[in-house]
């Protein structure tokens, strides 16, 4: 098995995120093909797969195609899987798990398909080495994916192991946390790049401000993880991996990394002290707590920095500390991003109506000059905001259809900004 041999790499994501994934993959220098609801493909080798695991924010798994073949029975599946040189890929000391997705008339039991693949791999390793790797459900070692559709099978190495959307920083989840990959896509959809002030009232466990801080500091999310599927392969090239990590760390340090760089303010607040405590701890684990200002308060009392004042201050002091980006660009834009609860029971929804109405008042009265966003799964509640939506960007949160609603909160500060421009 030559890890530099190219094959198809299937990058999966949750439903609705493929456009964001495609943008990321292109920015990393690849040419995505065949985008569909939950993924896309590129051509690459296993080093490319490692690189993608390190850098991608909106993906689930990076799957490297080992083989595809016609298949009409479990016995044929076993025979075809046995032909691959598994003894060159998996040490008998390793731990193996197999995941299958099956849509074929000759088999109605996904677990049986997984068992056949596992047996074929383990039997071949026993034949060549005399001992067998352990196997089970945990995706902490080598992970193999089988897709069996009608009379065709695709066998992939899941180079991620556990989903890369599980960054590992969220030790304390709190209530209704967004998945990290979804939060990253939401931030991407706002156009945030670290040069705008970012306010996240209702921050919960902090997923949105943490993902934003990772983006602002150009910190590769894979730097936070110590375990990936590819690390368990016999031919895992640790020095290549360390080089990739070092390059990613340098890119983040250039941007400022831990010490020097300060993006425009990122402010995260929540009314629940436990949420703020969880968010602060999670930000610390993610290495970005120094980039986020936390506060416990009702969303309407969140400190909203005056963009006009920030600009003046920056222009007057002309120091890099008060600037929004490493290029010295002053803070002229601001984003306010809220993910209120959207409720499921009637009583809850009645209570939430008032909250959404108050969000509209807060936007109107205190956030002029900012671009407002509300991420919600309840369009009726969103109507209570009583502001004109400029855009509705569709998302799914688990199985719930959601929208990221965009509001332009024009007023005086816009005027101030054009005065400065003049
Ligand atoms: C859906 S959760 C946000 C989850 C968050 N995006 C995450 O990933 O963890 C909504 C949050 O709004 C907070 N909240 C509810 N009412 C609030 C209020 N009036 N002011 C501030 N925060 C509030 C709740 O405490 C909760 O943490």
pLDDT digit string (tens) for 7-51? 999 999 999 999 999 999 999 999 999 999 999 999 999 999 999
Q: Which CATH class is domain 7-158?
A: alpha beta
Closest approach atom of ligand 1 to CA 300 = 20
Tokens, residue 302? 């969140």
Q: What's residue 98's pLDDT?
A: 98
Q: What's residue 153's pLDDT?
A: 98
What is the percent of the chain with per-residue pLDDT over 90, rounded to a whole number?
Answer: 80
Strands (E), 252-348: 266-270, 292-296, 334-338
pLDDT > 80? residue 379? yes
Q: What's residue 324's pLDDT?
A: 42
Q: What's residue 364's pLDDT?
A: 95
Mapping DSSP to helix (H, G, I), strand (E, B) and coil, where does residue 355 land? helix
> Tokens 């799957």 correspond to what residue?
63
pLDDT one-digit tens code per residue, 342-355: 987 666 888 899 99
Closest approach atom of ligand 1 to CA 200 = 6
- Ligand 1 site-directed mutation target among 170, 190, 270, most atoms within 8 Å of CB: 270
Distance CA 398, CA 96 (A): 28
Q: In sequence order, which residues have a C-beta less than 8 Å from that of residue 352 and are 6 or more positions away? A: 340, 341, 342, 343, 378, 381
Local structure of residue 322 (DSSP, 8 states): G
Q: What's residue 87's pLDDT?
A: 97
Average pLDDT, the chain: 90
Taking CA atoms only, the protein residue closest to ligand 1 atom 17 is 271
Q: Are 57 and 181 in contact (CB under 8 A)?
A: yes
The pLDDT confidence band at residue 257, using thresholds 50, 70 and 90, is low
Q: What's residue 411's pLDDT?
A: 65
Q: What's residue 34's pLDDT?
A: 94
Bridge-based pairing of strands 39-44 and 33-36 is antiparallel
Backbone torsion region of residue 121, taken as left when φ is above 0, otherwise alpha when ψ lies between -120 and 50, otherwise beta: alpha
What residues line ligand 1, using a CB cutoff of 6 Å?
Answer: 174-178, 201-202, 204-205, 207-208, 270-272, 275, 298-299, 339-341
The pLDDT confidence band at residue 171, using thresholds 50, 70 and 90, is confident
Mapping DSSP to helix (H, G, I), strand (E, B) and coil, where does residue 234 land? coil
Q: What's residue 410's pLDDT?
A: 80
Q: What's residue 172's pLDDT?
A: 77
Mean pLDDT of 101-115: 92
Q: What's residue 310's pLDDT?
A: 46
pLDDT one-digit tens code per residue, 197-251: 999 999 999 999 999 999 999 999 999 999 999 999 999 999 999 999 999 999 8
* Ligand 1 centroid to residue 271 C-alpha, Å: 7
Taking CA atoms only, the protein residue closest to ligand 1 atom 14 is 202
The pLDDT confidence band at residue 76, using thresholds 50, 70 and 90, is very high
Task: Single out the residue of 305, 347, 351, 354 nearest to residue 330, CA to CA.
Answer: 305
Q: What's residue 332's pLDDT?
A: 75
Q: What's residue 325's pLDDT?
A: 43
The pLDDT confidence band at residue 331, using thresholds 50, 70 and 90, is low
Distance CA 111, CA 113 (A): 5
The pLDDT confidence band at residue 1, using thresholds 50, 70 and 90, is confident
pLDDT > 80? residue 187? yes
Backbone angles phi, psi at 243, to 5 degrees: -60, -45
Backbone angles phi, psi at 417, to 5 degrees: -65, -45
Q: Are 3 and 46 in contact (CB under 8 A)?
A: yes
* Ligand 1 centroid to residue 181 C-alpha, Å: 19
Closest approach atom of ligand 1 to CA 342 = 1
Domain ranges for the chain: 7-158, 180-217+261-421
Q: What's residue 258's pLDDT?
A: 52
Q: Are 201 and 170 in contact (CB under 8 A)?
A: no
The pLDDT confidence band at residue 256, using thresholds 50, 70 and 90, is low
Task: Single out the residue of 182, 146, 177, 141 nearest to residue 71, CA to CA.
Answer: 146
Tokens, residue 241? 């991996």
CATH topology (fold) of 180-217+261-421: Rossmann fold (3.40.50)
pLDDT > 60? residue 124? yes
Q: What's residue 375's pLDDT?
A: 97
The pLDDT confidence band at residue 376, using thresholds 50, 70 and 90, is very high
Q: What's residue 349's pLDDT?
A: 87
> Tokens 């009637």 correspond to what residue?
346
Q: What's residue 275's pLDDT?
A: 96
Task: Single out the residue of 236, 229, 101 nearest to residue 164, CA to CA.
Answer: 229
pLDDT one-digit tens code per residue, 132-151: 999 999 999 999 999 999 99
Alpha helix segments (H runs only) across 130-237: 180-190, 207-216
Q: Are 102 and 113 in contact (CB under 8 A)?
A: yes
* Ligand 1 centroid to residue 8 C-alpha, Å: 41
Higher pLDDT, 207 or 307: 207
Distance CA 163, CA 287 (A): 20
Cα 243 to its chain centre, rounded Å, is 23
Task: Single out the residue of 95, 107, 159, 161 nearest to residue 133, CA to CA.
Answer: 95
Q: Are 100 and 148 in contact (CB under 8 A)?
A: yes
């Amino acid at each position: 098995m030559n890890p530099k041999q190219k094959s198809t790499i299937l990058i999966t994501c949750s439903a609705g995120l493929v456009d964001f994934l495609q943008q990321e993959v292109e920015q990393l220098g690849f040419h995505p093909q065949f985008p569909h609801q939950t993924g896309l493909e590129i051509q690459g080798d296993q080093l490319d797969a490692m690189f993608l695991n390190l850098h991608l924010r909106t993906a689930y798994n990076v799957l490297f195609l080992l083989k595809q073949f016609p298949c009409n029975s479990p016995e044929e599946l076993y025979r075809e899987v046995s032909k691959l040189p598994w003894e060159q890929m998996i040490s008998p000391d390793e731990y193996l798990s197999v995941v299958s997705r099956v849509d074929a008339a000759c088999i109605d039991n996904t677990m049986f398909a997984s068992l056949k693949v596992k047996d074929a791999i383990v039997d071949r390793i026993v034949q060549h080495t005399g001992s067998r790797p352990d196997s089970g459900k945990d995706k902490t070692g080598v992970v193999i994916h089988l897709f069996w559709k009608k009379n065709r099978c695709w066998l992939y190495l899941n180079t991620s192991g556990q989903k890369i959307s599980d960054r590992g920083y969220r030790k304390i989840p709190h209530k209704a946390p967004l998945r990290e990959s979804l939060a990253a896509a939401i931030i991407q959809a706002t156009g945030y790049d670290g040069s705008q002030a970012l306010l996240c009232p209702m921050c919960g466990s902090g997923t949105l401000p943490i993902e934003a801080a990772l983006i602002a500091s150009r910190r590769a999310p894979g730097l936070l993880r110590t375990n990936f599927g590819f690390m368990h392969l016999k031919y895992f090239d640790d020095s290549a991996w360390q080089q990739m990590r070092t390059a990613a760390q340098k890119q983040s340090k250039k941007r400022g990394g831990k010490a020097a760089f300060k993006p425009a303010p990122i402010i995260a607040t929540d009314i629940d002290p436990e949420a703020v405590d969880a968010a602060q701890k999670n930000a610390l684990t993610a290495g970005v707590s120094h980039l986020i200002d936390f506060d416990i308060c009702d969303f309407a009392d969140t400190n909203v920095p005056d963009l006009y004042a920030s600009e003046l201050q920056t222009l007057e002091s002309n120091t890099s500390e008060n600037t929004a980006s490493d290029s010295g660009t002053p803070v002229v834009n601001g984003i306010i991003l809220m993910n209120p609860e959207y409720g499921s029971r009637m009583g809850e929804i009645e209570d939430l109506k008032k909250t959404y109405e108050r969000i509209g008042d807060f936007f109107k009265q205190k956030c002029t000059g900012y671009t407002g966003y509300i991420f919600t799964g309840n369009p009726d509640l969103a109507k209570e905001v009583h502001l004109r939506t400029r855009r509705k960007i569709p998302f799914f949160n688990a199985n719930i259809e959601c929208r990221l609603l965009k509001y332009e909160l024009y007023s005086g500060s816009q005027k101030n900004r054009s005065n400065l421009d003049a």
